[in-house]
A and B are shown apart, each in its own frame.
Chain A
Amino acid sequence: QKEVEQNSGPLSVPEGAIASLNCTYSDRGSQSFFWYRQYSGKSPELIMFIYSNGDKEDGRFTAQLNKASQYVSLLIRDSQPSDSATYLCVVIPYGGSQGNLIFGKGTKLSVKP
């Protein structure tokens, strides 16, 4: 059973702080990793993807991947109340394809003004 594990939270940070969201995955052969954001009652939206070990930055978001440790993280700098949502760590396992995404349960982030 291929799994993606996340702390369900809630993770509470003050406005302007750095929010750090973490994820581990079980399939060592996984090659593609994504972070989706889901507001309450809405559908998930893709915010970051990463394929290679290291860091990838996009605006206030930084995704980090360590395949040896089977660990993915998302940093949100200068957190805003509008960042309050559930963040889903998503993996395409070895042999999988676009569309066959393995989702974690999500970490609920709350940014306090």
Chain B
Amino acid sequence: DAGVTQSPTHLIKTRGQQVTLRCSPKSGHDTVSWYQQALGQGPQFIFQYYEEEERQRGNFPDRFSGHQFPNYSSELNVNALLLGDSALYLCASSLEGSGSVNEQYFGPGTRLTVT
């Protein structure tokens, strides 16, 4: 049973470019959340996708957008990259309405470096 997977593992981009990060949730999960973790900080919630729609959004600009596909996988897109976007991007999946405690599984992350 595969856990949460993310690709790519590492990425280097230049200021002003656009980037797409990908996430496949744990088998059986239908909800995907994205977090940004800057060095030395805790993860910050970007947004959450459920039923192919953005359900909640954190305090991030519109340059950050996403998508969820019918197979529950998700993409995070960042436009007009800034140096400050350099961070570890974490994807987490869970099962909506599972009735259990928050069993949110994190993927290994994508390390984005903007130069």
Chain A residues proximal to chain B, CB less than 8 Å: 4, 8, 32, 34, 42-46, 49, 88, 90, 92, 96-106
Contacts and interface: CB of A to CB of B under 8 A. Distances in A.
A43 B106 contact: yes
Given A43-B106, A43-B109, A44-B43, A100 B90 contact: no
Interface string B27-53: 000011101000011111100100000
Nearest to A1: B59
B92 interface: yes
A4 to B, nearest CB: 8
Nearest to A44: B106
A53 B31 CA distance: 29
Interface of B: 31-33, 35, 40-45, 48, 55-56, 58, 90, 92, 94, 96, 101-104, 106-109
A43 B45 CA distance: 14
A45 B90 CA distance: 12
User: Which of A8, A43, A104, A106 has its CB near the most chain B CB atoms (within 10 A)?
Assistant: A43
A44 B89 CA distance: 12
Contacts of B106: 43-45
A105 B41 contact: yes
Given A88-B43, A97-B55, A101-B104, 17 more contacts: A43-B90, A43-B108, A46-B102, A46-B103, A49-B101, A49-B102, A98-B104, A99-B45, A99-B92, A100-B58, A101-B33, A101-B35, A102-B45, A103-B43, A103-B44, A105-B41, A106-B42
